[in-house]
Structure 1
Amino acid sequence: MNEIVSVVIPTRNRPQLVQRAVKSALAQTLQQIEVIVVIDGIDELTYNTLTQINDERLKVIASPINQGSCAARDLGVSNALSDWIAFLDDDDEWMPQKLELQLAAAKASKYKYPIVSSCLIAQTSHGNLVYPRRVPGAEPLSEYLFVRNTLFQGEGLLQTSTLFTTKELLLKLPFSVCKNIHDDWEWLLRAITFESVGIEFVEQTLAIWHLEAGPSLSKNYNWRLSLSWLQTNRNLFTPRAYSSFVLAEVSARAALNRDWQAFILLLIEAVRFGKPKLRDICLCFGMWLLSPQIRSFLRNLLTKRQVLSPA
C-alpha cells in the first residue's frame, strides 16, 4: 500500500493519552496512511502500550534521548514515506474525516506548499467551544493570530493538531529551527514568508483540543520567556501584531503574578515597538483586572459557537 498521508505524533510519558490519539488517527476515513509515533526519550511504558495496537500502519520510533517536541516532530517527518504530513499532539484527537477533507483542500490549493488547518473543538472543564471564531483572511498571518477584537482567546487560531502540509516544506523549514517555545507559532510565521506557501482552511470541526489534559511536550512559558521570544522574532510580526502579542499573550502570563511593574514595562514595549490601538490597551487592562477563572466563565457564557459534545 502506498501511503497518501503520514501522521506524526510526538509523545513522552503519557501512554493512555497517546493511545487515544493514535486510535483516532487510525480510524480515519482515509485509510492509506501511516501513523508515526516518536517517543521522545526512554519511556518503556508508552512503548509497551503502543505495541498492543495491532495495526501495520502504526510505526513507533523510540528516541534514546529527550530533545523536545520540535526535534521529535522533525524525526517523524524524516522517517515519513508520504509527501503529505499531518501533525497530531498526543493529548488531542481527530474527527474521522479530518485527513480526507484536508487532503482534498491541499490538492485543490493554488499554492505549491499549502498549510491546511481547520476548526476544532476546544474541550475544557467549563464546556466545549468551537475555535477559531474567525477564519484566516487577507490580513498578515501575525495579525490574524494575535490581534484580538475581544477579551477571549480563540479568535484566530491555527492549532498544531490541525496542521497538514507537505513533507518538502517541512524539510526546507524543520521545526527544530524554532526554540521549543511558541514553536508552533514561530514555525507558521517563518513558513508563510517562503515563496509559494499559503494558508488553506477547512471550516468543519476536524479535531478535539483537550485543554485540560495536563502537562505536555508543549510547555506553559512565563512572561519573560515569551517576551524574549517575541523580541528575538520581531521581524516576523507587523507592528500591530507585535503590540497585540505584548498586551494580550505576554501580559496574560504576567498578570497571573499580579506584578504591576510588569504591566508598565509591557505597555512601554508595546508603544515603543508596536502600534497599539485603544482597544488593545483596554483588553490588556481586562487581562489584569479579571482573573482567568472569570474570563473563562465569561468566554463560555458569551461565545456563541458552543457545542455540547465532541460528537
Structure 2
Amino acid sequence: MRPRSPVSDRPLVLVTVGTDHHRFDRLIEWVDRWFADAGQGRVHCVVQHGASRAPEHAEPRDFLDHVELLKLMEQAAVVVTHAGASTIGEARRLGRLPVIVPRDPAHDEIVDGHQIDFLKRIEEKGLVAACGTEAELRAQLDRLVDDPDAFLLAEGDSGAAQAAAVRRTGQLIDTLMSVRGETPARPAGSPAAEGGEPPSVTVVVATRNRPELLRVALDSILAQDYAGDIDCLVVHDQSEIDDTVAVDKPGRRVSVMANTRVPGLAGARNSGILAATGELVAFCDDDDRWLPGKLTAQVDVLRSAPGAGLACTGIRILYDDRKVDRTLDRGEVAFADLLRSRLTELHPSTFLLRRDALIERIGLVSEEVPGSHGEDYEFLLRAARDAAIVNVPDVHVEVLWGKQSYFAQRWRVIADALAWLLEEVPEFRLVPAGHGRIAGQIAFAEAAAGRRRSALRWARRTVRANWREPRAYLAVAIACRLVGADRIVRFLHRRGRGI
C-alpha cells in the first residue's frame, strides 16, 4: 500500500535535520526550491528545521518529538535527512530508503567531517541514496513525483538488524572523532548575561499532583535575593492545572500551563523551555527548595565564563531526619568527568542555562529516555560536550529524597533507561570506570526487579569493564537473595548517596 500524507492523498516528503544546534540552511533551501518548482500540488512536504531557517513553501516544523517523528516516517513516501545514524536506522527499520545530504564543516554545518565519512561507508553498502549537490537531490525527489513507491524498501531489505548496523557504524565514527582530544572553541555568550542589567530568568517547574510540595518550591524561588526578573512556569504533567498558585507582582511572576508534549518529566520540561521568555532558563523539581542566594551566585559565574551554557551548584540532601551536603570543589566540569562519574552534586534543580545555548546548541531534554529516568544525566553529557559546565562550590539547593520519588521502585524502568544511555553515548566504552558503573547499576536494578538471569549477565559485563566496581557484587548478592535491594538503597540514601 502506497504511503500517503495524513492531511492529503498526495505522497508525503518528510525532511528532518534533528536537534543539532548548527544550522543546515543549505538542505532546507534545496528542498524548498524543489518543492516550489516541482512539488507543489503533487506532494505534501513537511520540514523539521530545528535551528535552521524555516522553509517558505513547505510546511515548517521546528521540532518533532520522537513519537511524532516515527509516525510521520511511517506515513512518508521518502525521508530526507542529514547523515545521522539514529534517523537513518529508524527510516530503514520502517521500510524507507533514506535520501541523505551530509552536513559539511566547510559550511559551518557541523564541527568535523564525520557525517561525510559515515555516509561514504553506508552508501557503499547501498543503505541510502546519497546526494552531494542540489542537482542530485532534485533528481532523487523528481523520481518520487513519477513513482511514489521509488523509496520503499523491498520486503526483507529493512528491519531491526540493518537499522542497528547503521547505528553502530555511526557511533563508531562519532567515538573515533571524539577521542582525538580536540576541544571546540566556546561560542560567545549572550551580551545581556555579561554585564549591565541582570538577565531575566524563567524557572520551569514540572509538577504532578504534589500541591503542598509545589507551593514550598515556588515560595523558595520567589524569595530569591536576585535583582533581575523571575518568571516561574509551572507545567502540570498528567494532572489538573492549579491556577491558584499564579502570582503577578513586579519582578516576580508565576503562571501555569499544561504539558503539551510527550507525557512525563522530559516533555513537561520541554513544554516550559519552549514557552520561556527569559534570557536564562532554570529548572526546579516540585519537591526541592532553593536557598535565597542561588540565582545571584550562578549568574555571577556565568558572567565570568562567557562561553559556558550551564551553571550548577552544590546541594543539601534531606532524607528522613538526616541532612547531607554534596558539593564539588571545582569550578568547571568537563565531558570526560561526567563519563567517569554521574556527579550527583549536579542536580537538575540546580541547572541554570543560557536560553540561546539551550535551544541552539545543547538541545531540549530527551523525550526518548525510557520512563524519563536519568534524562538529566543524558542532558548533562550533551551540555558538557558543548562547553564545560561551570559550578558554584557551595550549597544553594535542598533536595528532598524519600518516598516522594516516583522512581523508588521502578527498577525495570531504571534498567531500561540505563541500557538506552549506554547505547546512546558510545564514549562510555572508552572509559572502563564509567562503563562499569552504568553496567553495574543495570545489574543492580535487574536484580532488584527479580530478573536474576539478566542481573547476572550484566554483573559479568560489569566485571569485564571494571572488576573493582562494587555494584556488580551487590547485584549478585541481591540476585542470590543474600540481601534486599531496598535495604541497600536506604543505607546509601541516609548517607546522601544513590546506587
TM-score norm. by structure 1 comes to: 0.78
Query: For the residues of structure 2 that align with 1:254 and 1:23, how far apart are their CA atoms?
Result: 39
Query: For the residues of structure 2 that align with 1:256 and 1:78, how far apart are their CA atoms?
Result: 37
Aligned with residue 354 of structure 2, among 166, 177, 197 = 166
Q: Is the 8 A contact 1:42 1:66 kept in 2?
A: no
| Equivalent in the alignment of 1:206 | 396
Q: Is the 8 A contact 1:91 1:213 kept in 2?
A: no
Query: How do 1:55-204 residues align onto structure 2 when only pairs under 5 Å count?
Result: 55=249, 57-63=253-259, 67-110=263-306, 112-125=307-320, 127-132=322-327, 140-146=336-342, 156-172=344-360, 173-176=363-366, 178-179=368-369, 180-194=372-386, 197-204=387-394
Query: For the residues of structure 2 that align with 1:60 and 1:169, how far apart are their CA atoms?
Result: 25
Query: For the residues of structure 2 that align with 1:93 and 1:120, how far apart are their CA atoms?
Result: 10
Change in CA separation of 1:263 and 1:132 when aligned onto 2, cut-off 3 Å: farther
Identify unmatched segments of 5+ residues in structure 2.
Answer: 1-196, 478-482
1:203 aligned partner, one-letter code = P
Identify unmatched segments of 5+ residues in structure 1.
Answer: 147-154, 305-311
**Rg larger in 1 or in 2?**
2
Query: For the residues of structure 2 that align with 1:212 and 1:22, how far apart are their CA atoms?
Result: 20
**Greater relative CO, 1 or 2 (CA 8 Å, sep 6+):** 1
Deviations 1:180-204 (A, max 9, x none): 232111111122222xx21111111
Q: Is the 8 A contact 1:12 1:217 kept in 2?
A: no
Query: How do 1:9-20 residues align onto structure 2 when only pairs under 5 Å count?
Result: 9-20=205-216
| Equivalent in the alignment of 2:129 | none
| Equivalent in the alignment of 2:421 | 230
Q: Is the 8 A contact 1:258 1:288 kept in 2?
A: no
Q: Is the 8 A contact 2:333 2:384 kept in 1?
A: no
Deviation at 1:213, TM superposition (A): 5.1
Query: For the residues of structure 2 that align with 1:68 and 1:159, how far apart are their CA atoms?
Result: 18
Q: Is the 8 A contact 1:95 1:206 kept in 2?
A: yes
Query: For the residues of structure 1 that align with 2:260 and 2:489, how far apart are their CA atoms?
Result: 42
Name the stretch that deviates more: 26-35 or 60-69: 60-69
> Which contiguous aligned blocks of 4+ residues in structure 1 show a shift greater than 6 angstroms?
none
Aligned with residue 453 of structure 2, among 257, 261, 276 = 261
Query: For the residues of structure 2 that align with 1:288 and 1:54, how far apart are their CA atoms?
Result: 55
Aligned with residue 435 of structure 2, among 229, 242, 253 = 242
Deviation at 1:62, TM superposition (A): 3.0
- SS of residue matched to 2:388: strand
Does residue 286 of the first structure (1) align with residue 483 of the second (2)? no
Query: For the residues of structure 2 that align with 1:131 and 1:265, how far apart are their CA atoms?
Result: 33
Name the stretch that deviates more: 81-90 or 168-177: 168-177
Name the stretch that deviates more: 158-167 or 254-263: 254-263
Q: Is the 8 A contact 2:317 2:401 kept in 1?
A: yes
Q: Among the aligned pairs, what percent are the same residue?
A: 22
2:364 aligned partner, one-letter code = P
Change in CA separation of 1:42 and 1:230 when aligned onto 2, cut-off 3 Å: closer
| Equivalent in the alignment of 2:235 | 38
1:293 aligned partner, one-letter code = R
Deviations 1:160-198 (A, max 9, x none): 10111111122130114542232111111122222xx21
Aligned with residue 50 of structure 1, among 238, 245, 248 = 245
Q: Is the 8 A contact 1:34 1:58 kept in 2?
A: yes
Quote the RMSD (CA, aligned, Å): 3.1
Query: For the residues of structure 2 that align with 1:76 and 1:234, how far apart are their CA atoms?
Result: 26
Deviation at 1:226, TM superposition (A): 3.0
2:237 aligned partner, one-letter code = D
1:191 aligned partner, one-letter code = A
Query: For the residues of structure 2 that align with 1:19 and 1:78, how far apart are their CA atoms?
Result: 23
Change in CA separation of 1:266 and 1:113 when aligned onto 2, cut-off 3 Å: same
Q: Is the 8 A contact 1:15 1:49 kept in 2?
A: no
Deviation at 1:106, TM superposition (A): 0.9
| Equivalent in the alignment of 1:152 | none
Change in CA separation of 1:299 and 1:48 when aligned onto 2, cut-off 3 Å: closer
Deviation at 1:61, TM superposition (A): 1.8
Query: For the residues of structure 2 that align with 1:163 and 1:80, how far apart are their CA atoms?
Result: 15
Query: For the residues of structure 2 that align with 1:191 and 1:300, how far apart are their CA atoms?
Result: 30
Q: Is the 8 A contact 2:455 2:475 kept in 1?
A: no
Query: For the residues of structure 2 that align with 1:137 and 1:66, how far apart are their CA atoms?
Result: 30
Equivalenced residues, count = 284
2:205 aligned partner, one-letter code = I
Change in CA separation of 1:134 and 1:114 when aligned onto 2, cut-off 3 Å: same
Query: For the residues of structure 1 that align with 2:205 and 2:346, how far apart are their CA atoms?
Result: 17
